[in-house]
Structure 1
Amino acid sequence: MNGMQLGKHAFVAAAVLGLALLPLLTGSFGVDLVTKIMIFAILALSLELLVGMTGLVCFGQSALFGLAGYAAVKLSPESDSASLWWLLPACMAVSGGYALFMGALSLRTKGVYFIMVTLAFAQMAYYVVHDTPLGGGTDGIYLYFKPTLAIGGWTIADLDKPLPFYYLVLLCLLGVFAKLALLARSRFGRALAGIHANEQRMRAAGFSTYPYKLAAFVVSGCIAGLAGFLFAVKDGFVNPELLSWHLSGSVLIMIILGGLGHLRGAVLGAFAFTLLQELFQSEAVFGPFAKHWHLGLGVTIIACVALLPNGLIGLPALVRQRLFGDSK
């Protein structure tokens, strides 16, 4: 293991340790904020699988995220808590099923047409929950009883309490990160990398690329469903904005800001984007200008993209190059 790989592993280990210890160092607001960021990081990782690893720019990720949130509420009993052991897989299956349907049709197109078709599927799901009684319309629907994590009669964790739920989300984030890291090193992951680099050459080499891309789409949908489920449990409420195309755009910005092609970049981008958003929305810092937080956030993101072409993940290499002339 060379020094660069050792540094990467040390960075990941330090980040995990910091997240594990954070509840001891901050109050309820900090725990709630970082819980939300980690959920968005899971969603960003799901899109990284498509964009960074496969080369598929998808604008339908919000639909996969939101449908799982709605499934969590609709499938939960109205008078008692559901078991996490069956509710979570069911919600992920809903998102995975819609991803299969969306991918089976949209993957027959390419380029900007693929982007527009995935956006159309997302908007279709959005208007179903927005304009029908199924999703409660613009008012949304509430999750009155959060699921329980229990074995037999023994409750492992009360998800209605912020701290146990925080550590559940952290475990999910670590699990998704590890799964995608292993996937990237597998034969399937190398096939996706080949498709990203040159799909025509992969076909010439004898690979049928469509099943690989569809499988990646479904796995991405299941991971987005996990994030949507956790978001619904966190807030106890879902509304059509979870399926809005604005969310898909925000997640795409996260992985670009962090650095495409890097799992660590997706997580870093989710933290950077959400913290920047919170900063520019703070009236204590920006006063009346906080009402125009989109302007400040947009200018900052443009500056980051212009100055850091490889994203935040490339900042250490850029600093080394400027200071020591080291291009490695």
Structure 2
Amino acid sequence: MSRESLFGALILAGIGGVALGAHLLDEPFTVTLATRAAILALAAVGLNIALGIGGLVSLGHAVFFGLGGYAMGVLASHAQSFTPLEIGPLSLAGTKSMPVIWLTATLAAALAAIPIGLLALRTSGVYFIMITLAFGQMFYFFSISWSAYGGEDGLSIYVRNGFPGLNTLVPIQFFSLCFALLSAALIFAWALRGSRFGLALNAARQSPDRVAAEGHDPQRLQLWGFVISAALTGLAGALFADLNRFVSPTMFSWQMSGEIMVLVILGGVGRLMGPVAGAALFVTLEHWLGGLWDYWHILLGALLLVVVLFARGGVMGWLAGEGRDG
């Protein structure tokens, strides 16, 4: 096992250990913090597929995070009010079943990523960044005006959704679900990176002309990477909304997109465990520094600057012993 893999496994186990220890000490708030870290890490795992493997710098992944959240909110609110969900001529029942909500959130994010990706991938560089950012702002302002589901005030879900055999209102049980999904996503990302598709996607990032010469369509590879990335981020959005039992337009905001990207950069772009390290560090700083100073983001920005300048490969690269020039 490499040094990077060892430290990555320790960080992942550390999140689980903190949650278990907090549960045994009857500290539900700390369990909730660990759950938040696991969910944000899952969202960052999604972005890391597009950014780290495909080289797609997306500032609009909050679109998929928010779609996942609103998929949960809309379905759960109709189940909560015992009213059907009207979609054109269709009349569907709401649901409080987590597996159904997860599937809906994942599909909604993936389907939305297809037209967004098709349009954005007609460009590259800063233009790709701006188009994805524009889509994020479009969804943000749409959700503000969507008065049927709370508009600017958001939508509250009074009881957390259910999973067969578990009491999801118990913090450690809900954490276990989120941690299991994060672990599954990491295994999936590891398998994807070493698969033929993952290798072709990485090649499309480095040399699209050579990939095209081999008979592959680099834009199609990037589109499917973008869709897969969006699906994982949408799943994280549904979990995040369930954690808070609340969904609001802020899930679509450009700040949310930036936060997910910061997690990837802090942990290490393209590193398998980078999102986990970035999320754990971010939530820790948010909790400790946020209680000391209202402007703690200044310190986060300084840390991000140090990581970008001196820690090649982010926190995981630094732990692996890679310096700026190494």
| Same fold flag (TM > 0.5) | yes
* Paired AA for residue 208 in structure 1: D
* Paired AA for residue 141 in structure 1: L
* Paired AA for residue 315 in structure 1: W
Q: Would you identify which runs of 4 or more consecutive aligned residues in structure 1 move more than 4 Å?
A: none
Kindly indicate whether the alpha-carbon contact (under 8 Å) linking 2:312 and 2:318 is maintained by their aligned counterparts in 1.
Answer: no
More off after superposition, 209-218 vs 33-42: 209-218
> For residues 252-308 of structure 1, what are the alpha-carbon distances to aligned partners after superposition, in whole Å with 9 as ceiling and x for unaligned?
12111111111111211121122223232122xxxxxx1222222222221232221
User: For residue 22 of structure 1, what is the aligned residue in structure 2?
Assistant: 18
Cα RMSD (Å) of the superposition? 2.0
Aligned to 2:160, the other structure's residue is in SS state: coil
* Greater fraction helix: 1
* Paired AA for residue 258 in structure 1: G
* Paired AA for residue 313 in structure 1: M
More off after superposition, 267-276 vs 11-20: 11-20
Are 2:314 and 1:311 aligned? yes
User: For residue 217 of structure 2, what is the aligned residue in structure 1?
Assistant: 208
More off after superposition, 260-269 vs 222-231: 260-269
User: For residue 301 of structure 1, what is the aligned residue in structure 2?
Assistant: 304
Shift of 1:17: 3.5
Aligned pair count reads 308
Separation in 2, partners of 1:171, 1:228: 16
Kindly indicate whether the alpha-carbon contact (under 8 Å) linking 1:79 and 1:145 is maintained by their aligned counterparts in 2.
Answer: no
Shift of 1:316: 3.2
Are 2:235 and 1:235 aligned? no
- Aligned counterpart for 2:192 among listed residues 171, 183, 189: 183
TM-score (normalizing by structure 1)? 0.88
- Aligned counterpart for 2:168 among listed residues 159, 165, 175: 159
TM-score (normalizing by structure 2)? 0.89
* Compared CA separation, residues 25 and 258, structure 1 to 2 (3 A): same
Higher relative contact order (CA 8 A, sep 6+): 2
Kindly indicate whether the alpha-carbon contact (under 8 Å) linking 2:59 and 2:133 is maintained by their aligned counterparts in 1.
Answer: yes
Aligned-pair identity in percent equals 34
* Compared CA separation, residues 145 and 24, structure 1 to 2 (3 A): closer
Uncovered stretches (5+) of structure 1, i.e. residues with no partner: 151-155, 284-289
Separation in 2, partners of 1:55, 1:269: 19
> For residues 4-30 of structure 1, what are the alpha-carbon distances to aligned partners after superposition, in whole Å with 9 as ceiling and x for unaligned?
x34444434434443333233222121
Kindly indicate whether the alpha-carbon contact (under 8 Å) linking 1:128 and 1:135 is maintained by their aligned counterparts in 2.
Answer: no
Uncovered stretches (5+) of structure 2, i.e. residues with no partner: 83-94
User: For residue 194 of structure 1, what is the aligned residue in structure 2?
Assistant: 203
* Compared CA separation, residues 109 and 6, structure 1 to 2 (3 A): closer
Are 2:47 and 1:44 aligned? no
Shift of 1:79: 4.3
